[in-house]
A and B are shown apart, each in its own frame.
Chain A
Amino acid sequence: MPLVYADTSALFAYFHPKDRFSDLVDRAVVATAPDFVYWAFSRFEIRHALRQANTDNHGTTAWKALRAAEKTAGRLRWFNELTADKMLDAAEELSAEAGAGIGGGGMDVIHVAAARRVKLLSGLDEFWTCDATQAEFARALKLRTRLFK
Chain B
Amino acid sequence: METIQDINVKALHDATGNFVRAAQAGQRFRISLNGKVAGILLPPDTAIDPSWDEIMAEVRAARKEPGPTRPNPILAERQQRNYAARLR
Contact = CB atoms under 8 A, between A and B. Distances in A.
Contacts of B50: 68, 72, 75
A69 interface: yes
Given A105-B81, A108-B78, A19 B72 contact: yes
Interface stretch (B1-9, B25-33, B58-66): B58-66
B69 interface: yes
A26 interface: yes
Interface stretch (A59-67, A80-88, A90-98, A119-127): A59-67
Contact of B59 (A17, A45, A74, A131): A17
Nearest to B50: A72
B75 interface: yes
B73 A65 contact: no
A21 B72 contact: yes
Contacts of A110: none
